[in-house]
Chains A and B, each alone.
Chain A
């Protein structure tokens, strides 16, 4: 036997004759004896009748005409749409060609725009470092001079070890090394240049005021032995001299940059220690022995 709350949940379906036979029989049995639920059913019947008696609202008389006009407007929009995209056999190749041209332009222009950006992204210290760095040319002048530091020249671009981790070491040259530098041995003097070259140099000096270039060359002349010793140490460690950096104000050399196989770093340090006090950062090497590492030797204690 169902209670009133259960029966009332079935009244809506009972009204629509949507209950199965068993549920319908149970509902009818309850309704015969329960006046409250019967009243509830009557109330629902009145409601459904009331809703059903709401007058139908008819469409306007010109509904079909309005519909035709609306469809006509839509049709025109569709025609424009189709005109834009059809016939496909013509439009698709045209659109593909357009896309290809756009892609070509994008890939052509993009690198052109990226290049200046890369230049401007360089920090100010980086730019200054580039300006004051003089790179060794390993060509015929080196052989002619017989000394690796004989010729330095300004280079527009940086060396190949730029992106590698740099070993920054400081070398305070011993007094005796500096003394040698102050009084160079005759054998260490630069090889005599040809008369034509000497004449050219003389003319250059005569026609222009001393410049930063001259200052650097003078400085190099004053400390040839110390550089020679450092260069020898680099060469002994199977390394390569990259550049000599000068102070722009004083024109004095500040540091030497070189590339050395990672396996020879310790050997280079030993050689440099023979020339003076060497301050070396803690070694945390990750490169293979054959990898070239960048070493910057800052020179301390130069007069």
Chain B
């Protein structure tokens, strides 16, 4: 069964009254949603808050979800809107600060989600790779929200132009032009790094 087919079964179960089905949906999608929020906000705690908020909203609307679009796309749309709202909030703007990729989380017992596990035997190579990723993330953070959204969905989540158009509510031509513009901007900022 496809991933979206499994989602559909869980959604139907939830709509019949099985609350545990929603937990399964959360487990299936939490990391993708969390990662997207993190790329958007550049802050682990804020990403956690936004990802949870996105699931709370999804829970409230899932009873009326009609399965006409993929659940993942619908969930991404909720997450993107939640992050946009947070980015626009004065509380977030006041708190905004430079993000450290080295220690984004507070859970010391768990391995750091940002731990680079590329199998490189050289500590120096690992350090260089970390630094390169930090610079990429920093460059991403400087993009305007409308460009950050599309490039994150395309180049990090690997979504199609059509899905991105559905998630963002933009037309296809605008999605293409924004992705091209964001990539050009990033390439100019990361010359010599990538």
Instruction: Give chain A's interface residues, CB within 8 Å of chain B.
Output: 9, 11-13, 16, 18, 43-44, 46-64, 66-67, 70-71, 74
Given A50-B136, A55-B133, A61 contacting B52 (CB threshold 8 A)? no
B183 in contact with A44 (CB, 8 Å)? yes
Given A60-B110, A64-B27, A71 contacting B59 (CB threshold 8 A)? yes
Nearest A-chain residue to B105, judged by Cβ = A60
Number of A-B contacts (CB under 8 A): 105
Q: With A and B bound together, what is the CA distance between A67 and B33 in angstroms?
A: 13
Contact with A along B156-175 (1 / 0, CB 8 A): 10100100000000000000
B56 in contact with A71 (CB, 8 Å)? yes
**Residues of B contacting A70 with CB < 8 Å?**
52-53, 56
Which residues B133-188 have CB closer than 8 A to chain A? 133, 136-137, 140, 151, 154-156, 158, 161, 176, 179-180, 183-184, 186-187
B114 in contact with A57 (CB, 8 Å)? yes
A13 in contact with B176 (CB, 8 Å)? yes
- Report how many residues on chain B are interfacial, defined by Cβ distance under 8 Å: 50
Q: Contact partner of B155 among A48, A63, A64, CB < 8 A?
A: A48
Given A46-B194, A50-B136, A74-B56, A59 contacting B51 (CB threshold 8 A)? yes
Q: Contact partner of A52 among B59, B105, B115, B156, CB < 8 A?
A: B156
B186 in contact with A47 (CB, 8 Å)? yes
A61 in contact with B48 (CB, 8 Å)? no
Contact with A along B24-47 (1 / 0, CB 8 A): 001100110111001100001001
Q: With A and B bound together, what is the CA distance between A104 and B154 in angstroms?
A: 63
Q: Is B55 an interface residue (CB 8 A)?
A: yes
Given A56-B31, A57-B104, A51 contacting B113 (CB threshold 8 A)? no
User: What distance in Å separates the Cβ of A69 from its nearest Cβ neighbour in chain B?
Assistant: 9
**Residues of B contacting A16 with CB < 8 Å?**
154, 161, 179
Instruction: Give chain B's interface residues, CB within 8 Å of chain A.
Output: 23, 26-27, 30-31, 33-35, 38-39, 44, 47-48, 51-53, 55-56, 59, 104-105, 107, 110, 113-117, 132-133, 136-137, 140, 151, 154-156, 158, 161, 176, 179-180, 183-184, 186-187, 190-191, 193-194
User: What distance in Å separates the Cβ of A56 from its nearest Cβ neighbour in chain B?
Assistant: 5
A54 in contact with B180 (CB, 8 Å)? no
Nearest B-chain residue to A53, judged by Cβ = B133
Q: With A and B bound together, what is the CA distance between A66 and B194 in angstroms?
A: 38
B190 in contact with A47 (CB, 8 Å)? yes
User: What distance in Å separates the Cβ of B19 from its nearest Cβ neighbour in chain A?
Assistant: 10
Nearest A-chain residue to B59, judged by Cβ = A71
Q: Contact partner of B179 among A9, A12, A53, CB < 8 A?
A: A12
**Residues of A contacting B183 with CB < 8 Å?**
12, 44, 47-48
Q: Contact partner of B158 among A46, A52, A59, CB < 8 A?
A: A52
Q: With A and B bound together, what is the CA distance between A66 and B133 in angstroms?
A: 29
